[in-house]
Amino acid sequence: MTRVRPTWPDLPEHVRDAIVAKVGAPVTGWASHDGGYSPGWALTLGSAAGSVFVKVASTEHEVAARLHRREAVRAAALPDGVPAPAFRWILELPDAEGADPAWVVIASDVVSGRELRTEPWDLDDLDRLQHLARRIARHEVPDGGAYPAFADHTWPEAALLADERPAGLAAYDPWLAENLDRIAGTAAPERQAEAFAGQHLVHGDLRADNALVVRRADGVEEAVAVDWPHAMRGAPFLNQTGMLPAVHAGGGPAPEEVLLRTPLPADVDPEAVTVWVAVLTAYFTRSSLLDPPPGIPHVRAFQRIQAEACIPWLRDRLRAG
């Protein structure tokens, strides 16, 4: 299912007027970017002052508004050389009656590129996405800055699945229910903290729909990452491996096949990767069994197919270990 987003004319007039004032010229054209997993507007706006990409959320969608605010901080702090569009500005606007802020607008440079070819997956584009993940991870970010530590967040889903044993597990490979205790042990909080520690920049949500392919001056095509609200600092393998369930779920190669094409950095601990795969398996499985969040009813189906991609990956890694 493809999300059809609202367009420029659907915005309240006072919000459009505020954006025009910030842009510095009347908007003469727009393109709405459908897809994604958050409610709200994603627009490229054209004007005599140039083009700008904006995302807009109403605070009625509290999570989307919070993510826009977070992205404003993290995208603005990206180190020089990170393959990403430059962040421009953020607006917080009241409703038409002048009440508390009701709209959040963030803007960045427009990326003149194409979407990755995923239907079916083009292996050259998959390589570009994997190389993008490695390029991002080469940048290190300091403690105490815009990026929280990935290792400080504990993913509880493996322990919750082992404790709850929800009936919905019957829809998955029986191996999963039979091995919940082992998975919970693999993804124990202390193992997560050790596996995910590091100073490397982590995009946090790097998939095909959060990247575009651009052509450099020398004619070489490479990928650029967009959408940075989840950026953190952590281990160097997180970018590269976190996308693999979505790749496989979308008809691409199995995770280990991708890693044969673009290997992880040589100093990555295989056990740390297995901890991450256990975390992802439990997260996608348990999340898929919850009620959908407001405004994005299709996200649970997407989580389900990623869980189904994770289970054989985790099973093989645990057997190998």
Residue pLDDT, tens place only, 175-220? 999 999 999 999 999 999 999 999 999 999 999 999 999 999 999 9
| Other beta carbons less than 10 A from residue 304's beta carbon | 19
The three-class DSSP label of residue 60 is coil
DSSP letter at 48?
T
281 vs 252: CA distance, rounded Å: 18
Q: For residue 133, which of 241, 230, 256, 272 has the smallest C-alpha distance?
A: 241
Give residues with Cβ within 8 angstroms of 267, minimum separation 6.
none
Residue 118 tokens, joined? 């995923």
| Other beta carbons less than 10 A from residue 237's beta carbon | 26
Length of the chain (residues): 321
Global confidence as pTM: 0.92
Q: Which domains does the chain show, CATH number per domain?
A: 8-108 (3.30.200.20), 147-202+232-320 (no CATH)
Residue 115 tokens, joined? 């979407």
Q: For residue 150, which of 107, 196, 185 has the smallest C-alpha distance?
A: 196
Q: What is the largest CA-CA distance in the chain?
A: 62
Query: DSSP assignment of 145-195, as one string?
Result: SSS-BGGGS---HHHHHHHH--GGGGGS-HHHHHTHHHHHHHT-HHHHHHH
Query: DSSP assignment of 110-130, as one string?
Result: ----B---BTTBPHHHHHHHH
The three-class DSSP label of residue 240 is helix
For residue 171, give Cα distances in angstroms to 112, 151, 246, 289, 305: 42, 31, 19, 10, 12
Residue 2 tokens, joined? 């493809």
Give residues with Cβ within 8 angstroms of 263, minimum separation 6.
none
Per-residue pLDDT of the chain (321 residues; tens, 9 = 90+): 345 788 999 999 999 999 999 999 999 999 998 766 667 899 999 999 999 999 999 998 898 999 999 999 999 999 999 999 999 999 999 887 766 779 999 999 999 999 999 999 999 999 999 999 999 999 999 999 999 999 999 999 999 999 999 999 999 999 999 999 999 999 999 999 999 999 999 999 999 999 999 999 999 999 999 999 999 999 999 999 999 999 999 999 999 999 999 999 999 999 999 999 999 999 999 999 999 887 778 889 999 999 999 999 999 999 986
Residue 81 in contact with residue 47, Cβ under 8 Å? no
Place of tokens 């996608």: 284
Residue 228 tokens, joined? 């940075």
Please tell me the predicted confidence (pLDDT) of residue 36: 62
- State how far Cα 156 lies from the chain centre: 19
Cα angle 155-63-143, degrees, rounded to a multiple of 5: 55
